[in-house]
Amino acid sequence: MPLARSACPYDCPDCCGLLVEVEGGRAVSVRGDPEHPYSRGTLCPKMNDYQRSVHSPLRLTTPLERVGPKGAGQFRPISWEAAVARVAGRFREIAARDGAEAILPYSYAGTMGLVQRNAGHAFFHRLGASRLDRTICAAGKEAGWKAVLGSTLGLDLDEAVKSDLVVLWGINAVATNLHFIQRVKQARARGAKVWLVDTYETHTAGVADEVVLVRPGSDGALALGMLHVIDRDGLTDRAFVAEHVQGYEELRRDVLPRFAPARTAELTGLSPARIEDLARRYARARAPFIRLGNGLSRYGNGSMNVRCILGLPALTGAFAREGGGCFAGTSSGDAFDLSVVTRPDLAPSPAPRLVNMNRLGEALSPSFGPPAVKALYVYHSNPAAVAPDQNAVLAGLSREDLFTVVHERFLTDTARFADLVLPATTSLEHPDLYRAYGHYAVQRVRAVIPPLGQAKPNWEVFQLLARAMGFEDEVFRKSADELVDALLAAPSPMREGLDRAALEEGRAVTLRLPADAKGRFRTPSGKMELLNPREPRPLLDHLPTHEDGGSLPLRLQTGVNPYTLNSTFMDREELRRKAGGMRLQLSPRDAAARGLADGDPVVAWNERGEVRFTLHVTPRVPDGVAVAEGVFWVAHAPGERTVNALTSQRLSDRGGGSTFYDTRVDVRRAAPPSA
């Protein structure tokens, strides 16, 4: 059977290379591409058998219009022509009556291709619609990185193989960055030690030599406590600090005295002796390498947590050593001029309002505005499940005066509330260009099978809508392949010497990093800025987290699982089963204190909502913590809500990021369903 190359399109740093076996216009099998420079032939459990999602009997294959109550999922087929005309007509009507800002797009990372992910931007800019601040995942982490390191390029992750101490901090890499684990194992085989710093023993604990469990939100406090010991004991790399660090003297004078081991122990739950030991071993490592995850940034102090952790490689000079440093994500933005696709120049001036996606529930409230949001267009996202404060989101989606369009592959929780549902293609059915945020390979892909039924890719739908709206701008006449050509035509030093022939063949090729990428700090001072005078809080500090819930005793951690990816892949029953279903994990002591046993039906609750789970009692979760892994669809939930009915719309300290992990709950036994 013929094989075609493709790439994993989902929100993961690995962006793996795929080999797709095609027969009779169907994808028969999907496996890893052994020639991919980063993934090297292996796939995660989610992408193995991807063809089952592509050819799922649950796929949407025709446009649908609602015929029942919102949320009931009752629809009938209509034609594409009628659907496009209806969307365009309603958009014109709303824009004329309420202003174009009453129209809100909502999308995120259901596909990571540069064209299809960003396909709606030009259309909504041209329309003058409200803009969406897409900050749900790692905006707090990005803001913390920029505060210290500006636009400094992320390291090549192969650097970690040369480290003698790899610290996996706030990342369940087995579930979210599997191919980095290959590098970790290589480093370990060469003698490196591996630490995991997290709030409970995730699946990644199995690859660590040492697991360090901290109280939720106290990551920055641990870093400052370690910095206190490093400074106190004379373990600072003074030469590196003098040349490459701004703010050391201010930090040691104004901040570090407040984070002696005894005080840090109170904040983190670790013993003073353990904090001292961790600090000394980190500082004495030849080339310590920290892999920063997103979890530690999803708090009210998320950005500051990242800033504090970056103090560790700053004071020890880790960036100056082969194998050392800190990685939060790659920096390939310079490789492609995305304005070719997004066309911000089409937007009116002044720019329309910016709506933070973490506050969708607030934005869909009738009291929001003016103008109130009267139309919502959702593509490659499932906000009814993934957005915080689910009850507020569902209340908004239930409004009869809200015109909702959802472009999707499946009848998700969000699609069930739509007035119109448009069938979407999968990544095997459309062309695109992919870059990763966990490595520097890029890959051009073509459609390897025809679209199923009447499914259409994002870009094609926005072309149809632009035509129906009378938008004559040239960009809307370009095909997706022509946009990829335009992205590749704009010059960039990162693409100098790129093997274009291999790229055109669908092979992954690696971008070029500057020779001085490591150790060149792209900040205004040219140094690591532990003191950043442009920040509201110029120095590193441990801000308290801002969870609601008052005295509720459990800190909820909405973690990830190797078999789920946010709400993606929930169409596949075998992956839901392997993930264990909708479980809430508690420690044996916390379960016993509530008279609960493993397997009991339970309800987690707080002032925002109640969610039903099946209890899993495990010593891998410390006392005072509750863990819910995965974002399930309501169709597969034991109750009427899923985990984000418990999380809030609060934002992180910087960057407008989410605070999913800053949630307090309590747990009780669930009443029987008939009660």
Q: How far apart are CA 438 and CA 426, in angstroms?
A: 22
Q: Which of these, 119, 127, 87, 129, lies nearest to 475 by C-alpha position?
A: 119
* Furthest C-alpha separation in the chain: 73
Q: Which of these, 519, 666, 508, 496, lies nearest to 593 by C-alpha position?
A: 666
What does the pLDDT look like over 634-672, one tens digit per residue? 999 999 999 999 999 999 999 999 999 999 999 999 998
64-137+342-492 CATH, one of 3.40.50.740, 1.10.150.20, 3.40.50.10240, 3.65.10.10: 3.40.50.740
What does the pLDDT look like over 288-325, one tens digit per residue? 999 999 999 999 999 999 999 999 999 999 999 999 99
Only one residue has tokens 């599997």, namely 178
pLDDT at position 515 is 84
Where in the sequence of the chain do the CATH 3.40.228.10 domains occur? 155-328
| 17-to-42, 289, 311, 360, 481 alpha-carbon distances in Å | 9, 26, 35, 34, 19
Only one residue has tokens 């669809």, namely 633
77-86, 231-240, 260-269, 487-496: which has the minimum mean pLDDT?
Answer: 487-496
CATH architecture observed for domain 554-669: Beta Barrel (2.40)
pLDDT at position 8 is 97
pLDDT at position 674 is 61
| 602-to-495, 570, 608, 643, 669 alpha-carbon distances in Å | 54, 22, 17, 13, 4
pLDDT at position 547 is 66
pLDDT at position 675 is 46
What does the pLDDT look like over 531-583, one tens digit per residue? 999 999 999 999 988 765 568 999 999 999 999 888 899 999 999 999 999 99
Q: How far apart are CA 506 and CA 381, in angstroms?
A: 27
pLDDT at position 333 is 79
Where in the sequence of the chain do the CATH 3.40.50.740 domains occur? 64-137+342-492
What does the pLDDT look like over 414-429, one tens digit per residue? 999 999 999 999 999 9
The CATH topology of domain 3-54 is Phosphorylase Kinase; domain 1 (3.30.200)
Q: How far apart are CA 22 and CA 29, in angstroms?
A: 7
Hey, what are 615's tokens? 């209890």
* pLDDT averaged over every residue in the chain: 96
The amino acid occupying position 2 is P
CATH of domain 155-328: 3.40.228.10
Pairing relation of β-strands 610-617 and 601-605? antiparallel
pLDDT at position 565 is 84
Where in the sequence of the chain do the CATH 3.30.200.210 domains occur? 3-54
Hey, what are 666's tokens? 């309590």
| Partners of 194 in the β-ladder | 166
Residue 523 has pLDDT above 80, yes or no: yes
What does the pLDDT look like over 471-513, one tens digit per residue? 999 999 999 999 999 999 989 999 999 999 999 999 999 999 9
Q: Read off the pLDDT of each residue in 320-332 and give the average, rounded to a whole number.
A: 94
**Rg of the chain, C-alpha, whole Å:** 25
What does the pLDDT look like over 121-169, one tens digit per residue? 999 999 999 999 999 999 999 999 999 999 999 999 999 999 999 999 9
